[in-house]
DNA sequence: CGCCAGGTTGAATGATGTCAAGAGGAGTGG
DNA sequence: CCACTCCTCTTGACATCATTCAACCTGGCG
């Protein structure tokens, strides 16, 4: 079992894919496929449910499935030369994991759910086959590759630049469409730290400071703030 | 003209592409195309020569060409929220610039030659057309997209992690196939700093330290070192 | 109730940023 | 050929920020 002992059962199969009810069908990799072919696809695509901290796949292992995120957040991490693990980027609903299998055979990251997460598990061979016959899928693949590039570059520009306060502000803005983060998109301090390239303590301290300055509140697992406040800090 | 005044003529057309003599043909985007179609392609592909610091294209402008690097190094940078400019990654011979035009119409970075650089300028419409007819090109596109992702993630894992000395050691190792950097791949301190996410002064100080410790020499525009020394520092 | 994972805080230390001054080299024009 | 300027790199002194190591708090859960 490739999961840290402390985190129990890694995955639970919920059932076969039901694309019609998919919350992110339009965004997902297979979204553009015609409804006629959808039926055949559903047969070999499973929906899996992962608990927080469960591992979806491991760096440098042979892989045979892509994953499409339906809900939740997934972190993609690598072991750095220095022994720590570094989060390279986050995958949100609609994003595709494991696209590197289109040009290789091993996963390049460890993928781990940040919180309860649902994914569609898609056989790589299926995608390779459909790629030959469907121009729509080819376009979708290209779009999703580009989205991967964008996410990685976003990480560099937003989360590897500026001081800790700026980075945290940018992360909160990124996670929150409005003036509060969704409680279901909770990220704990340790993961924030690995994502922003600072220590856990610095994250904790900085968030505490921001609370004391009155620009941030934390209710349960949700942050509340005025976007303007954080945007001012983010750009400095 | 989109080039800083101080850096004179931005580009010089060397001539039409001569793929047979291309130093990186196997690696390049168009490499896998059959020789028969190569002739037709060469007609609309130009080879351009850029001087050090010349701008190849600018962030957020409409684009109609991809570029394939033949020799030299190109930096891809973006303006950060904080006003500085941050280098997102380097493009080396064989790499392709402007792949974002396959799914959009604007360049997402500013591309600037780090030193004297030769590129092939390929019309985006040509690539879009060939993509329909040639499975080989489609595969090449996918490989080059993946290579872009790899480069961005390399940047995060290697150049945004650890202290200044580790980052510099990793950069030198990355630039040097052997135990010395190629004088023709010179990168000045300012660019190193923007690439590693530290200040110019920190780069200068750290390199001076490493020289004093005897693990680094600088002859003209080349660094000399023993890989073992730097590898020990890089992994810490 | 007691344990433990997650979070907070303090004090000391180390690393990096900032501002400022100056050295050396390459190119230019007189 | 020299004096000049500009660019790049170096170095110092100091302020600021982040890390480290440690202690402690808290709420959930067996």
Instruction: Report helix, strand or coil for B225.
Output: coil
Q: Tokens at residue B73, please? A: 């190094």
Q: Average model confidence (pLDDT) for chain B?
A: 88
Distant-in-sequence, close-in-space partners of A22: CB < 8 Å, separation ≥ 6 = A28, A70, A120
Q: Tokens at residue B213, please? A: 């410790």
Q: Residue B3 pLDDT > 70, yes or no?
A: no
Whether the Cβ atoms of residue A120 and residue A70 lie closer than 8 Å to each other = yes
List CB-based contacts (under 7 A) with strand D: A 163-165, 197-199, 201-202, 205-206; B 6, 53, 188-190, 200-201, 204-205, 207-208, 218
Separation of alpha carbons B96 and A112, rounded Å: 31
pLDDT score for A8: 45
pLDDT score for B18: 72
pLDDT-derived band of residue B7, with 50, 70 and 90 as boundaries?
very low
pLDDT-derived band of residue B5, with 50, 70 and 90 as boundaries?
very low
Q: Which of A15-29, B153-167, B184-198 has the lowest mean pLDDT?
A: A15-29
Distant-in-sequence, close-in-space partners of B129: CB < 8 Å, separation ≥ 6 = none
Whether the Cβ atoms of residue B73 and residue B117 lie closer than 8 Å to each other = yes
Instruction: Report helix, strand or coil for B193.
Output: helix
CA distances for B50 relative to A60, B6, B56, B114, B175, angstroms: 39, 14, 8, 9, 20
pLDDT score for B22: 78
Measured CA B5 to C1' D1 distance, in angstroms:
30
Q: Give percent above pLDDT 70 in chain B.
A: 91
pLDDT score for A100: 97
| Count of CA atoms in the C-beta half-sphere (13 A) of A132 | 5
Kindly report the nearest CA distance between residue B236 and chain A, in angstroms: 4
* Contact assignment for B86 to A156 by CB distance below 8 Å: yes
Instruction: Report helix, strand or coil for B81.
Output: coil
Kindly report, residue by residue over B114-125, the tens digit of the pLDDT: 988 999 999 999
Q: Residue A235 pLDDT > 80, yes or no?
A: yes
Separation of alpha carbons B191 and B74, rounded Å: 11
Kindly report, residue by residue over A29-85, the tens digit of the pLDDT: 888 876 666 777 777 889 999 988 899 999 999 999 999 999 999 999 998 877 788
Kindly report, residue by residue over A120-177, the tens digit of the pLDDT: 999 999 999 999 989 999 999 999 999 999 999 999 999 999 999 999 999 999 998 8
Kindly report the nearest CA distance between residue A143 and chain B, in angstroms: 6
pLDDT score for B101: 98
pLDDT-derived band of residue A27, with 50, 70 and 90 as boundaries?
confident
Q: Is A231 left (phi over 0), alpha (psi -120 to 50) or beta?
A: alpha
Predicted model pTM: 0.92
Q: Is A53 left (phi over 0), alpha (psi -120 to 50) or beta?
A: left
Kindly report, residue by residue over A183-205, the tens digit of the pLDDT: 777 899 999 999 999 999 999 99
Q: Which of A9-13, B121-125, B222-226 has the lowest mean pLDDT?
A: A9-13
Q: Residue B2 pLDDT > 60, yes or no?
A: no
Q: Residue B158 pLDDT > 70, yes or no?
A: yes
Query: Can you spell out the DSSP letters for chain A?
Result: --S-GGG---EEEEEE--GGG-TTTTTSTTTTS-HHHHHHHHTT-EEEEE-TT-EEE-TTSB--EEEEEEES-EEEEEE-TTSSEEEEEEE-TT-EE-GGGGT-SB-SSEEEESSSEEEEEEEHHHHHHHHHH-HHHHHHHHHHHHHHHHHHHHHHHHHSSS-HHHHHHHHHHHH-SSSB--GGG---HHHHHHHHTS-HHHHHHHHHHHHHTTS-EEETTEEE--HHHHHHHH--
Cβ count within 10 A of residue A129: 12
pLDDT score for A73: 93
Kindly report, residue by residue over A83-136, the tens digit of the pLDDT: 788 999 999 999 999 999 999 999 999 999 998 899 999 999 999 999 998 999
A-facing residues of B in 73-112 (CB < 8 A) are 78, 80-84, 86, 88-89, 99-100, 102-104, 108
Measured CA B5 to C1' C7 distance, in angstroms:
53
Sheet of strand B46-50: strand arrangement: B11-16, B46-50, B117-123, B65-71, B96-97
Kindly report, residue by residue over B45-102, the tens digit of the pLDDT: 899 999 888 999 999 999 999 999 999 999 999 988 777 889 999 999 999 999 999 9
pLDDT score for A20: 73
Compare CB distances from A80 to B141, B143, B157 and report the shortest one's residue: B157
Q: Inform me whether the C-beta atom of residue A197 falls under 8 Å from chain B C-beta atoms.
A: yes
pLDDT score for A7: 46
Q: Quote the radius of gyration of chain A (alpha carbons, Å).
A: 19
Whether the Cβ atoms of residue A25 and residue A49 lie closer than 8 Å to each other = no
Separation of alpha carbons A117 and A234, rounded Å: 28
pLDDT score for B10: 61
Q: Tokens at residue B138, please? A: 């489609």
Separation of alpha carbons B79 and B59, rounded Å: 9
pLDDT score for B36: 65
Distant-in-sequence, close-in-space partners of A153: CB < 8 Å, separation ≥ 6 = B78, B88, B108, B152
pLDDT score for B8: 45
Within 8 A of A156 by CB-CB distance, chain B residues are 86, 88-89, 152, 155-156, 160
Kindly report, residue by residue over B123-142, the tens digit of the pLDDT: 999 999 999 989 999 999 99
Strands A85-91 and A117-123: unpaired
Output the CA torsion sign for A35, A116, A141, A46.
negative
Q: Inform me whether the C-beta atom of residue A156 falls under 8 Å from chain B C-beta atoms.
A: yes
């Amino acid at each position: 079992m490739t999961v840290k002992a402390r985190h129990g059962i890694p995955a639970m199969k919920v059932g076969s894919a039901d694309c019609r009810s998919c919350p992110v069908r339009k965004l997902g990799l297979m979204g553009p496929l015609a409804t006629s072919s959808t039926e055949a696809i559903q047969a070999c695509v499973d929906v899996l449910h992962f608990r927080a901290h469960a591992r979806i796949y491991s760096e440098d292992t042979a892989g045979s499935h892509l994953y499409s995120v339906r809900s939740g957040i997934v972190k993609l991490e690598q072991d750095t030369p220095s022994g720590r693990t570094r989060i390279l980027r986050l995958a949100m609903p609609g994003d595709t994991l494991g696209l590197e299998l289109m040009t290789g055979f091993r996963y390049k990251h460890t993928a781990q759910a940040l919180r309860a997460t649902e994914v569609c598990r898609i056989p790589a061979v299926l995608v390779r086959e459909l790629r030959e016959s469907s121009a729509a899928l080819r376009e979708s693949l290209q779009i999703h590759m580009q989205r991967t590039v964008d996410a990685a570059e976003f990480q560099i520009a937003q989360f590897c630049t500026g001081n800790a306060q700026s980075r945290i502000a940018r992360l909160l803005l990124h996670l929150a469409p409005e003036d509060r983060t969704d409680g279901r998109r909770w990220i704990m301090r340790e993961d924030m730290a690995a994502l922003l390239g600072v220590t856990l303590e610095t994250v904790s301290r900085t968030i505490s400071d921001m609370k004391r300055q009155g620009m941030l509140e934390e209710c349960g697992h949700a942050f509340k703030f005025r976007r303007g406040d954080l945007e001012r800090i983010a750009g400095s």
